[in-house]
Amino acid sequence: MAETPEYDVAVIGSGPGGYVGAIRAGQLGLKTVLIEKDNKFGGTCLHVGCIPTKDLLLNAEVYNYFQHAKEFGIDCKGFSINWPAVMARKTKVVTKLAKGVEFLLKKNKVEVVQGYGRLAGPGRISVTDAKNQSREIQAKNIVLATGSEAKMIPGLAPDPKTILSNKEILDMKELPKSMVVIGSGAVGVEFASIFHRFGTEVTVIEMLPRMVPLEDEEISSELEKAFKKQGIKVHTGAKVQKVTKGAKGVSVEFTDVAGKAQMLDAETCLVAVGRAPNTQNLGLEKTKVKLERGFIKVDPFMRTDEPGVYAIGDIVAGSPLLAHVGSMEGIVAVTHAAGKSAEPINYRQVPNCTYCEPEVSSVGLTERQAREEGHKVKVGKFPFAGNSKAAILGEQTGFVKIVSDERYGEILGVHMIGPRVTEMIAEAVVVMRLEGTVEDLEHTIHPHPTLTEAVPEAAHAVFGMAIHI
């Protein structure tokens, strides 16, 4: 019998948390193996999440520019959407990035094993391949990075044409004429923006009182106004009662905010009601790993209660389900496993970005959260209507909002809605990490004309002294 291989680190799952953790482990000189059930690397984010959706958002933006070309002094005639070409570009981008991940794994001497991995005992993983053949891998440290799956409304099952999750919608063969989106979190509003710009009649139904409910309330209000102005129908405080598939599409029955029964007919229905952790069938039942609503509880170094077992990414209790968070958690976990100094994540300094139109980004506390925590809050806001670069772009919807503590000028949160704000939020993250104040932002010179000028202007607005145009 062949000797069972031994590794310093074994990672189960090759999403942004898993592959980044594995690569960092290799960089640290650890003998590393990455176990992936599919024959591709990058997980949900790369293949059916972050990357393909952003590619489609760009296509939709380009098409929108053609539609409004006259505003820029350009006459365009005879243009149309070539949907197969749109989808082909998306696939090309995803394939290129997946090959890049594979190259980095090889470069850093990470061994890859294809198959379904589950814990088989202390320091042991059982891997079952596509032919149902099993092998066992031993490792001093095991990192669970198995990600999450889209939740589905009870009684519904996704299909390629009518009832869609984030997977099926990215493989549609043609553009639908109409779509109902259930849920207005990041997934829901991003796809609503994509398909509305491509000409689909879109209706968004949200059970909670406001869109993007994790964001600051003023951001939610501004996004809802922007959606409605574009022609996207929005129903907040609405509860879906029944979804029925028919020969021509789908019927969605719901009660609106006033309790009145409503029904919508559409060709397609996207269900975007959240994600569930992939923690079943991992062999956790025979370990000391503790779960909370299906998510794994960890300490600041990503350790579970089972010695030598770490968990990162979407399966972690209390952790934002974001690719960049999973990547940093992977780095923290394997750095700690290597016996080196690892810095725990400050989850209050995690940026959140939603790539709808207009874009939304944020970091830190909302105004309501800051007040509930007892802070004496001072708020500064600056609208993109007063920003020169936004005027040049023809995109002046939205604003930058800074939530600060009055006593010392501590920045508690920064919230943005408007053009390119997902590229701007990193500045706020850096300032908060370095414990910068509102005054520090005020006195940081920004180039003109840029969208980023709205940030120091929001800082000036904290003291009622915003100026710029």
pLDDT 10s digits, 99-121: 999 999 999 999 999 999 999 99
DSSP string, 113-125: EESEEEEEETTEE
Task: Give CATH superfamily name and number for 163-273.
Answer: FAD/NAD(P)-binding domain (3.50.50.60)
User: What span, in angstroms and rounded, lies between the C-alpha atoms of 314 and 148?
Assistant: 6
pLDDT per position as a tens digit, 437-449: 999 999 999 999 9
Average pLDDT over residues 18-28: 98
Cβ–Cβ < 8 Å for 200, 83: no
324 counts as catalytic = no
How is the chain split into domains, by residue range?
6-150+276-347, 163-273, 358-462
Structure tokens at 286: 């025979």
Among 3.40.50.300, 3.50.50.60, 3.40.50.1970, 3.40.50.2300, name the CATH number for the domain at 6-150+276-347: 3.50.50.60
Cβ–Cβ < 8 Å for 289, 202: no
| CA angle at 303 for the pair 300 and 308, rounded to the nearest 5° | 155
CA distances from 361 to 214, 226, 327, 397 (A): 11, 15, 19, 14
pLDDT per position as a tens digit, 241-288: 999 998 889 999 999 999 999 999 999 999 999 999 999 999 999 899
| CA angle at 254 for the pair 252 and 255, rounded to the nearest 5° | 165
Q: Can you state the angle between helices 50-67 and 186-197, rounded to 10 degrees? A: 30
> Tell me, what amino acid is at 388?
S
DSSP secondary structure code for residue 317 in this structure: T
358-462 in CATH: which number?
3.30.390.30
In this structure, the strands spanning 32-36 and 110-114 are parallel
Q: Do 163-273 and 358-462 show the same overall fold?
A: no
Structure tokens at 158: 């996704």
pLDDT per position as a tens digit, 340-352: 999 999 999 999 9
Residue with tokens 């501004």: 222
pLDDT per position as a tens digit, 57-89: 999 999 999 999 999 999 999 999 999 999 999
3-state helix, strand, coil in the chain (%, to 5): 35, 25, 40
Structure tokens at 241: 């009662």
pLDDT above 90 (res 467): no
Cβ–Cβ < 8 Å for 23, 14: no
Is omega for the bond preceding 449 within 30 degrees of 0, making it cis?
yes
Name the pLDDT band for 3 (thresholds 50, 70, 90): low
- Please state the pTM of the whole predicted model: 0.96
Catalytic residue among 68, 375, 446, 448: 448
pLDDT above 60 (res 1): no
Burial of 196 per CB tally in 10 Å (0-12, 13-18, 19+): buried
Q: Is 380 helix (H, G, I), strand (E, B) or coil?
A: strand
User: What span, in angstroms and rounded, lies between the C-alpha atoms of 184 and 157?
Assistant: 20
